[in-house]
Structure 1
Amino acid sequence: MVSIASWNIRGLNRIPKQQEVHEVVVSNRLSVFAILESHVALSKLNNVCNSVFPHWSWTSNSNMCAIGTRIILGLDPSVAQLMVVTATDQVVHCLLSFHCGKKFYVSFVYAANYYIQCRQLWRDLYVHKQFVGDHPWTIMGDFNASLSLEESTASSSNVTIAMREFQECVDAINMADVNYSGLHYSWNQRPNSKTGILKKIDRVMANDMFIGDFPDAYVIFQPYRISDHSPMVLKLPDVSGSKPKPFKFGNFVVHNEAFQKVVKDGWGVEVHGHLMFRVVKRVRLMKKAFRKLMWSKGNIHDRVTKLRAELDSTQVLLDVNPDSVPLRLAEKNKLQEFNEALIEEERFLKQKAKVEWLRVGDSNCSYFHKVVKGRKNRNHIHAIFDNNDNVVEGDGVANVFTQHYEQFLGMAANYDSIDDPDSLFTSRISSVKAVHMVRPITSQEVRKAMFNIGR
């Protein structure tokens, strides 16, 4: 697993803060670390970085800053290589390449406090999006603005100019938050009065290509400690190496002509032992045959692409030679194969995404594939707190759930018998109201609901 972190430390000149930064590096086994708002002068930058990042490579945007260094980047050269594409006083755009061959663009942001100054940052991000194109890209750092009113404990009900322009930028560059856990509010204002303000102004976002290449990526927002900002650690399990994938049964296999025979042959194998053991053993024996059925025609998506190209070529040739009987037969066969492949792909995607609107023909649009990847990323639990409030990640998450339910379901409890079950329900609705609740939905109601959703 590779870990990349960003932290607004609010000054790195003092020894205690340097020690805390080093502690974050060691405890999270970081490979890349961005320190924001370091306040380190250019003349002292070399000594401070060598103290914080021993045996690491580092760079900064000090040449772009009027007072102090705003962004310092540290890198473990034994894990990856970092190439700075461009830099300003508010952002450093980089290309991060790992020794395993994977690479992606990453931008470390420390936005200005005033929204007018932030406009240059939003323009820089939009320009960089054109440069990145269809490659994976992630952005992490302090944006000094929230995306919604729910991301602040302040009682304001007005969307500020900074929030609106930040949201417009996120929409323009097509970014979304990476699945995260830990603290929700990443910034803690500590005024002299008792009424403090908590906000989420630090975040990690990524484009669709990044989520597609790193579907198991997640972020942990850790406690503030000596800063007023939360350190955010981006975890990339996919970079460290591939793990064996569990067997997943594709429902589209049941439509294969050989499916019935495979089940019949597998269930006919003689197995001795307990009834449940015999069932499980036979199901396991059929896994290999099911895998063979699933991949007998190759990758589902690649097959659709290949057949689409072959069908196009055949139809072009038929247009040149409309009287050719062999071409007409070939076009008919290719069209049939292509339609069958489309149906198989649709069945596979429907099972994977569980999206009901697939039935109306959205199976092959790019938006649908983005939903599949985004749903998988959001629904995966990457980290959890155990009973001792310790953060457990990776394979240990399943053990925490198992231990919890073993204890919960294994506990004996006293309960009172219920002689009259109807006494549990003291309030009942009339039959007229009950029928009204399940009345048919009209087209006007659907239209009104859709138009009331907002932007």
Structure 2
Amino acid sequence: MAGAVIVNGIWLQGDLQCCFVNVYAPMGSAEKESLWDALQILALPNKYSYLCILGDFNAVCDPGERVGKGVVFNQADARNFDAFIRQSNLLEIRTQGRKFTWYQPSGGCKSKLDRFLVNERWPQEWSGTVGRGLQRSVSDHLFLNSWLSHPDFSKLVRKTWEETKIEGWSCYVFKEKLKLVKNALKEWNLRIYGNIEHGLRELKDESEMIRRNELRAKIILKSKEKCSLLQQKAKVKWVKEGDLNTSFYHKAIVGRRKKNEIAGLADGISWNEDPKIMKEKVKTFFENHFKKRQHVLPMLPGDFVAGKVSAASNAELIKPFRNQKLKLPFGAVTATRVRDQMALISSFGKRHGR
């Protein structure tokens, strides 16, 4: 299949039939349509139990996935790509990190060309699958001008070129020497400029934490609005199609799992996604929250000595009531008087108790 590499076999843990397709789609619209047709056959329900199609699709679904100065949005390509995903009943795995996966060297344009697509059975077996957009790094195809200012650059290139002995015709020798020089420069770049890249990554992570705190409220609000809209749509479709709509049923389950999933926890200075660390932090939080606390009982002011009830008074207190009208020494009890007494008790409790 042109534009894709297919690997299929049996996942030993569970004896599951799996197929992975690594895509590098061509630029031409006609070639891409041919690739979509071939991939759609792989996505047939009786073809593979678990299917994952990932890579560079060289296409976007909507204008928001390709932005920048002078960018031209190909609506026909986007419509065909979106139709391929829907007709194949494929689900897109959510990604963390960068939204855009391709950047123009100047930074003027960026697009989301890479994505992960799976069939409907995939999240039933691996519900926690997520994609990750890695940080941009130095490309193997770029030559950094800053290298020229380093005193060891020229020495390294000359040494690698002159000490390499390769036999063959001239073009082959030239190509192999360039390859060796490139590998030497790559290792040298990591050794000399690696600390700079590490420092930049730390600054980016720090700025991302600050920005995340500022935008968290907006993200939560928008997420709630989206969930409310999807719930309304899901209820309407469920009423219309019922349990026989198995495709919708599984998508609804996946949606609930994603909604209830905790991808990570922030403790103020760091973001943790390791399940073991997350479980330990949750356990520690609730242990501290429900820990038994020692309370100091209130003391009455002044010298207070409790008296004892006499034997005659005690007998009077425990004597059973008779079927007769009670006579109260303080006059008739009214609703106003009861309210006043309760207010007095409450005021005393707030002042001297807890």
TM superposition score normalised by structure 2: 0.46
Q: Which has the higher helix share?
A: 2
TM-score with structure 1 setting the length: 0.37
Rg larger in structure: 2
- More strand by percentage: 1
